[in-house]
Amino acid sequence: MPKMNDFYEEYWRWREDNWNLHKMGIVAERHKFAVKVICEELKINSTKENINVLDIGCGEGIFGKILRERVKSGVSIVGVDISKKAIELSKPFYDEVHTLNVDEVRLSNIFNTKFNFVICFEVMEHIIYPERFLEEIYTLLKNDGKLITSIPNFAFLKNRITVLRGNFPYEQHIFHSAEHIHYFTFYSFKKLLNEKGFNILSIGGGFALFFPLTLLPLDIQKRIFYKFPNLFGKQIVFCCEKKLIGDK
C-alpha cells in the first residue's frame, strides 16, 4: 500500500506540469485574505519585532511569494509540506522550509519559537488527525497570534444538488479522490475550531451564487455569502484567535 508521503510526491509532480499556480498566474481568495490580515497587523505593530509566520502545507509557495511581493521586511516566513517536490518549488519564497508529515510528528518538537500567524490552507481535509493538528497549532501560536485556515465546503449548494442527484462532487479534489480524508461544512468546521480553543474573528473566501442572484451588485452578493456561508461558500477562510484561560 502506498505511503501518504509517496502519494503526495506523485501529486506534486503531477501538479507541477498540470496545475501549477505559478504558471497559471492564479491568486486565490484565501491568499488575498491572509496577506491583507498580515499587512494590517504590520501597520498596527510597525515598531515591534519581526512577525513570524508559519505556512503549513505551503505547496508550491504561492502564499509565500505573494506575501514577499507585498511585504519587503518585518516578516519571517517558514514553510512546511509533506512533499519534497513541493518544498523544492516553494523554497525561493521562504526564509526556512521543512519537509515533514504533520500526522507523524509533533510540530511543537520541531519549532522552539512561537508564531504570530499560522497559515493552513486546504490542509485539514488531507490529514488523518485534524483534531490533534489543531491542538498543535494552538501550542505554536503566541497568545495574541492568529490562525488563518481554509476548507472546501462540502455543503456548498452545487455539491448538495450533485449529491441529491445521486452523484459525488468530484470537483472537491483535482488529482485523485484519495486526496481528501475528511469532508467539512462551514458549521462542522466552526464547531471543531471552537472545541480546539479558537474563536472565529472573520471569514472570507471564494463564493458562488446562482441565477438570478448573480444579477445583483457584487457588494450585495458578498453580503449574501457572509449571511449564508454554508450555502454559498465554495471555499471558506477563517481568521481565528486563541481562546485564553477564562474565555468562554
Residue 113 forms part of a structural domain? yes
Range of the domain at 171: 4-242
Residue 59 forms part of a structural domain? yes
Q: Are 153 and 235 in contact (CB under 8 A)?
A: yes
pLDDT of residue 1: 44
pLDDT of residue 24: 66
Give the full edge-to-edge strand order of the sheet including 51-56. 96-99, 75-81, 51-56, 115-121, 141-152, 233-242, 198-207
CATH number, domain with residue 95: 3.40.50.150
Separation CA 178–CA 180 (nearest Å): 6
Terminal C-alpha separation, the chain = 44
pLDDT of residue 150: 97
Instruction: Provide the number of structural domains found in the chain.
Output: 1
Q: Are 93 and 65 in contact (CB under 8 A)?
A: yes
Residue 248 forms part of a structural domain? no
Please report the DSSP string for 124-144 in residue order: GGGSS-HHHHHHHHHHHEEEE
pLDDT of residue 155: 93
Residue 247 forms part of a structural domain? no
Overall size of the chain counted in residues? 248
> Each residue's pLDDT tens digit in the chain (248 positions)?
458 888 888 888 888 777 666 666 678 889 999 999 999 888 876 656 789 999 999 999 999 999 999 988 889 999 999 999 999 999 999 999 999 999 999 999 999 999 999 999 999 999 999 999 999 999 999 999 999 999 999 999 999 999 999 988 766 556 565 678 899 999 999 999 999 999 999 999 888 888 888 888 989 998 999 899 999 999 999 999 998 765 55
Which long-range contacts (C-beta less than 8 Å, at least 24 apart) are formed by 177-180? 178/7, 179/11, 179/125, 179/126, 180/125, 180/126, 180/152
Stated pTM of the model: 0.90
Residue 210 forms part of a structural domain? yes
Residue 17 forms part of a structural domain? yes
118 three-class SS: strand
